[in-house]
Structure 1
Amino acid sequence: MKIWNAAIHTQTAAGIIENGYVSVENGKITEVSSGTPETITPEDIDAGGSMLLPGFIDAHTHLGIIENGIAFEGDDCNEATDPFTPHLRVIDGVNPLDRCFEEARAAGVTTVMTSPGSANTCGGTMAILKTAGRMTDRMLIGTGMKFALGENPKSVYNDRDETPITRMATAAMIREGLSKAQRYQQELDFAESDPDEHMPDYDAKSEALLPVLERDVKAHFHCHRADDICTAIRIAKEFHLDYVIVHGTEGYEIADILAEEQVPVIAGPTLCDRCKPEMQKLTIQNPALLHNAGVKVALCTDHPVIPIQYLSTTAALAVKGGMSREDAIYAITAGAAEILGVEERVGSIAVGMDADLQLYRGDPLDLLCDPWLVMIDGKICVQ
């Protein structure tokens, strides 16, 4: 299949191909070229001069783990009976038939990071999912590990009169869990190298953290306040983690430090009120200030805090706050893919990438403009 007569916004060094075409085979992009293809078949799509973009990526959500319009029965986001739960996996709680997956596709959002909540100091393994499918295992293209600092763990466990009720205890609990996992790995290594050594008892929590310590899985730190962001940096450096700041509401207060430490930030939500104390300094200028300081930035809705179909509106708000239009689109395509670690599959239009594509007759950041065609893995899901 080919999509031709399109203005291709590649989100790569190739820039914009004003009049070009993309070939798709077996769910992958096999050709990106200017001009008109030599042969056009009935199955090929005439874009009519429309803008062709990669599918949008929402870099932090709770899509499917908090179902839309359902209260307790559809909320599997926080296992608030144990403050440290790395062994939980979000894919075991996501309902891919939640109606919001359909709303995501209709808005051109083809990939999401969906996450456990932030009630616990460690909430569990996150999932990078395509938004089309009926079984999470078949939608999965990557993972992450969710940690949380600041107000949320404090509030949840203070109400229960259990630890952690301070920022000190929250950080200490994360350190303790990571240190135990390090020791567990050492015991595994000793047992494998020496036949006389006994294998350690299976530890599900430590086992889940081993890929994080090996830097195969990124650590995602939920934090809003600048001091909490600095705690995340401190812990990540202590354990040599590959990490990401999620939310980063006060990131602009320490933008120079974040740039110096080369810490990426998934900024958002911004299309909301200052709903809790640690969000009192929320500003729509944050993404622009971070980007201008040299920080890698992605944008998110934190769905259902902001419904996922308003990801592009969140990008428009970042533009209103001083970000360039091109940089805002990059932050929900290639930039988001890079921060999540899936840039070799999604986020740009290039040979070998997944065929996650969308066509617009107008401005993709206009609230009144929806894509007239959306494709995920080479299959049309909106037309």
Structure 2
Amino acid sequence: MLAIINGLVYTMNGPVIPKGTVLVDGGKITYVGSSINLPRQVEIIDATGKYIIPGLIDAHTHVGILEEIYRIEGDDTNETADPITPHLRAIDAVNPADLGFQDALAGGVTTVVTGPGSANIVGGEMVVMKTSGTVVDDMILRFPAGLKCALGENPKRVYGNSNKMPVTRMASAALLRETLVAAQTYQAKVARAATENTTPPERNLKMEAVVRVLKGEIPLRVHAHRADDIMTAIRIAKEFDLQLIVEHCTEGHLIAPWIAKAGVKAVVGPIISNRAKVELMNRSLETAMALYKVGVPFAIMTDHPVVPIHYLSLSAGLAVKGGLPEEEALRAITINAAKLLGIEDRVGSLEVGKDADIIVTDRPIFDPNHQVEQVFVNGRLVLQN
């Protein structure tokens, strides 16, 4: 049993608690409050003058798949032989020994989404996982966590140079629609065989992955920077009645009311970046604030290794510079990110019954000079600075 006492506790689902206590037992949080008679057999960590915060959540990365240091050897991001690869599974590419996981813990990031890159129109299934562990299967929080798709420049560049679809944005949208229709057909055949007690069609792993999206079991997570690409994703999601999360949403501030009206969620970022390509021309620190003002649920990401994962809190801090209230910026990398990912019952806030993923810092999280002094994952101390 562990007690972290006397710190300023950010529960994220309630008021900040001065001189608060967080009690942990069996990897779970058993108490959060201002005072408690501690059991005799308890390890006490005195966090006087410190800040006690839920472990941070990075809602879009490639950690473990695009590894630190390695190039070809550790790059499993994009399978560029085919623009339609929904059957690829992130869990089969993640290397828990990637140094990026150590960087994540150093930055207080205890949960990440990782998955394929954006070379393909349909890239594969993403995973939500803890950042501490030695075996992927023991680190998983949710799999699959979404089907990665991409619109815009990247698929055009990868396949257009080979004179292969998609050369245009029209072709990108057409390929995505074609894949969804094929999955509908496959789904109907499976259902008909079950109803009529006849031989089902031969298993099709590509179609099975897409059917999970059609059934609403997982969202379609579409890489889209430019406003027109975002609207194409919204148009297709509406056409097929899909849950949609817009990844990056760089020009989201230009069409925020339309995004809100569509009931779409977003993962914003990377915020610390230059205009590396044309579709980033209108990047802005004000994107998160624009989405917040119209009620769009969103999280903030690093897109690691595009931006190193330990800069997640700095990324959220820059959204504050763009007008986002500090509390909302912190929620965008804790509880709101957890809600967007469908894991709020496990992580994202300090509440009784949740996983004891906790960080202790010496200063407020948005102070660029803050130090993450301790990190707990499932109640276990995994970093002591």
TM-score, normalisation: structure 2? 0.97
**What code does the residue aligned with 2:63 have?**
L
Matches within 5 A, 1:99-248: 99-142=99-142, 143-195=145-197, 197-248=198-249
Q: CA RMSD in A?
A: 1.2
Residue by residue, what CA displacement relative to the aligned partner does 1:219-247 show, whole Å, maximum 9, x if unpaired? 11100000110111111111111121110
The reply on whether 1:340 has 2:341 as its aligned counterpart is: yes
Q: What is the DSSP-based 3-state SS (H/G/I as helix, E as strand, rest coil) of the residue aligned with 1:235?
A: helix
Q: What is the DSSP-based 3-state SS (H/G/I as helix, E as strand, rest coil) of the residue aligned with 1:101?
A: helix
Q: Structure 1: how far apart are the matches of 2:342 and 2:151?
A: 22
**Equivalent residue, structure 2, for 1:369:** 370
Q: How far did 1:49 drift?
A: 3.6
**Equivalent residue, structure 2, for 1:271:** 272
Q: What is the DSSP-based 3-state SS (H/G/I as helix, E as strand, rest coil) of the residue aligned with 1:372?
A: strand
**What code does the residue aligned with 1:382 have?**
L
Q: Structure 1: how far apart are the matches of 2:227 and 2:243?
A: 19
- After TM superposition, what 4+ stretches of structure 1 lie above 2 angstroms from structure 2? 36-42
Q: How far did 1:54 drift?
A: 0.3
**What code does the residue aligned with 2:199 have?**
H
Residue by residue, what CA displacement relative to the aligned partner does 1:18-37 show, whole Å, maximum 9, x if unpaired? 12211112211111122243
Q: Structure 2: how far apart are the matches of 1:114 and 1:56?
A: 15
Quote the sequence identity (%): 46
Q: How many residues align?
A: 381
Q: Structure 2: how far apart are the matches of 1:73 and 1:112?
A: 22
**What code does the residue aligned with 1:189 have?**
A
**Equivalent residue, structure 2, for 1:321:** 322
**Equivalent residue, structure 1, for 2:50:** 50
**What code does the residue aligned with 1:186 have?**
A
Q: Structure 2: how far apart are the matches of 1:20 and 1:229?
A: 43
Whether contact under 8 Å (2:243, 2:264) holds in the other structure is: no
Residue by residue, what CA displacement relative to the aligned partner does 1:287-313 show, whole Å, maximum 9, x if unpaired? 112112221121000001000010011
Q: Structure 2: how far apart are the matches of 1:97 and 1:367?
A: 28
**What code does the residue aligned with 1:343 have?**
E
Q: Structure 1: how far apart are the matches of 2:28 and 2:178?
A: 43
Q: What is the DSSP-based 3-state SS (H/G/I as helix, E as strand, rest coil) of the residue aligned with 1:185?
A: helix
**What code does the residue aligned with 1:161 have?**
N
Q: Structure 1: how far apart are the matches of 2:282 and 2:8?
A: 39
Q: What is the DSSP-based 3-state SS (H/G/I as helix, E as strand, rest coil) of the residue aligned with 2:81?
A: coil
The reply on whether 1:75 has 2:80 as its aligned counterpart is: no
Runs of 5+ in structure 1 lacking a partner?
A: none
Q: Structure 2: how far apart are the matches of 1:251 and 1:55?
A: 27
TM-score, normalisation: structure 1? 0.97
